Amino acid sequence: MIHICEITEQHSITNNIYRMRLKAPMIASSAKPGQFIHIKVRTGIDPLLRRPFSIHRIDPGNEEIILLYRKAGRGTSILSQMSPGDSLDLMGPLGQGFDLQTSFDHAIIVAGGMGSAPVFFLIDELLKAKKKITLLWGVRAGEEIFNENEIRKQGIELKVATEDASKGHCGFVTDLLSEYLSKNITKNTYSGFVCGPECMIHEVQKIVESVDFRWQASLEARMACGVGVCLGCAVLIRERGFQMVCKDGPVFDLREVQFNG
């Protein structure tokens, strides 16, 4: 479906990370964590293609969806200049979200950079389902960590890694994961979730090779159509061959993803 949605709020969290609220009743009522929307940031031919963004959170009461995005290039910088009252043309919800039907008690979530965007929607759903949650969150600088108090108040175990040593562990979120796994995990009532840049997800794949519970990863790829038509966003999945990140994903079973190199 194509929706013309009004922006109801836009705030910058850091220098170049923004949070945007959009009035989108149909999406707010039907979306699942891990799904995304595909935005035409402005009419016309520049930029030409839509831009994919995870649904960061939904606010069903207000019929709103929330995005969290980093100003990365032309499209996102146009987005960042928009104001409440402006409208956006978007498709969605698209893709397959996380599978939360499998039986587990404790969710361990690894989020890197803007990978935190879909994680909040995921957490909201996991809390509804009364799961225990551990969130390992890696960012470049501490200022990119937000909602820390809210998270802890909800009873979520939060560990932070920053590359610039401004908060928590100094280094990568994958360090936190290795440490966590070496200490805590004994039985397979866990389920793992990972969202972030490809190199991080690849690293996580290696780290969890020997643990025996399921891991789901949310992948990114350049997209044109967003609905499985252009075959542009392929990812190699063991036994299934090329799958489309937009349609078959963006969430895949981590162990089945074949990264290049």
Partner 1 sequence: MVDLSVKIGSLRLKNPVLTASGTFGYGRDYDEYLDIAQLGGIVTKTITLNPREGNPMPRIAETPAGMLNSIGLSNVGADRYLSDKLPALKNVDTVVIANVAGDTIEEYGEIVSRIQDQSRIDGIEINVSCPNVKQGGLAFGTNPDITAEVVRISRLETEKPLIVKLTPNVTDITEIALAAQESGADAVSCMNTLVGMGIDISTRKPLLHHILGGLSGPSIKPVALAKAYQIVQVLDIPVIGIGGIMTWEDAVEFLLAGVTAVQVGTLSFVDPYGSIAIIEGLRLYCQKNGISKVENLIGGMIQS
Ligand X SMILES: Cc1cc2nc3c(=O)[nH]c(=O)nc-3n(C[C@H](O)[C@H](O)[C@H](O)COP(=O)(O)OP(=O)(O)OC[C@H]3O[C@@H](n4cnc5c(N)ncnc54)[C@H](O)[C@@H]3O)c2cc1C
Ligand Y SMILES: Cc1cc2nc3c(=O)[nH]c(=O)nc-3n(C[C@H](O)[C@H](O)[C@H](O)COP(=O)(O)O)c2cc1C
Give the SS3 label for residue 139. Answer: strand
State the number of binding residues for ligand FES (CB under 6 A).
13
Q: C-beta of 44: minimal distance to a second copy in Å? A: 6
Binding residues (CB under 8 A) for partner 1: these are 1-2, 40, 45-50, 91, 221-235, 241-242, 260
Q: Is residue 216 within 8 Å of residue 193, measured between CB atoms?
A: yes
Amino acid of residue 206:
K
Q: 219 or 244, CB closer to ligand FES?
A: 244
Would you tell me how many other CB atoms lie within 10 Å of the CB of residue 50? Answer: 20
Residues found near a second copy in the complex (CB under 8 A): 44-46, 74
CB 92 within 8 Å of CB 3: yes
Separation between Cα atoms, residue 68 and residue 12, nearest integer Å? 10
Residue 83 or residue 260: which is nearer to a second copy going by CB? 83
**Binding partner selected for residue 244 from ligand FES, ligand X, partner 1, none, CB under the kind-specific 5 to 8 Å limit:** ligand FES
* Alpha carbon distance 171, 28 (integer Å): 36
Query: Smallest distance, Å, CB 140 to ligand X?
Result: 13
The reply on whether position 91 binds ligand X by CB under 6 A is no
Show contacts with ligand X in window 92-121 (CB under 6 A).
Answer: 114, 117
User: Which entry of a second copy, ligand FES, ligand X, none binds 45, CB below 5 to 8 A by partner kind?
Assistant: a second copy
Nearest to 172 by CA among 147, 197, 155: 197
Taking CB under 6 A as the criterion, which residues in 202-231 touch ligand Y?
A: 230
Q: What is the DSSP string of 81-115?
A: T--TT-EEEEEEEESB-----S--SEEEEEEEGGG
Say how far residue 147 (Cα) sits from the centre of its chain.
Answer: 16
> For a second copy, which is the closer residue by CB, 77 or 184?
77
Residues 52, 138, 168, 192: which binds ligand X (CB under 6 A)? 52
DSSP H helical ranges for the chain: 25-30, 74-80, 116-128, 148-153, 173-184, 198-207
Residue nearest to ligand Y (CB): 230
Per CB under 6 A, the list member of 216, 235, 250, 251 interacting with ligand X is 250
Contact set with ligand X (CB under 6 A): 36, 47, 49, 51-54, 56, 68-70, 72-76, 114, 117, 220-223, 250
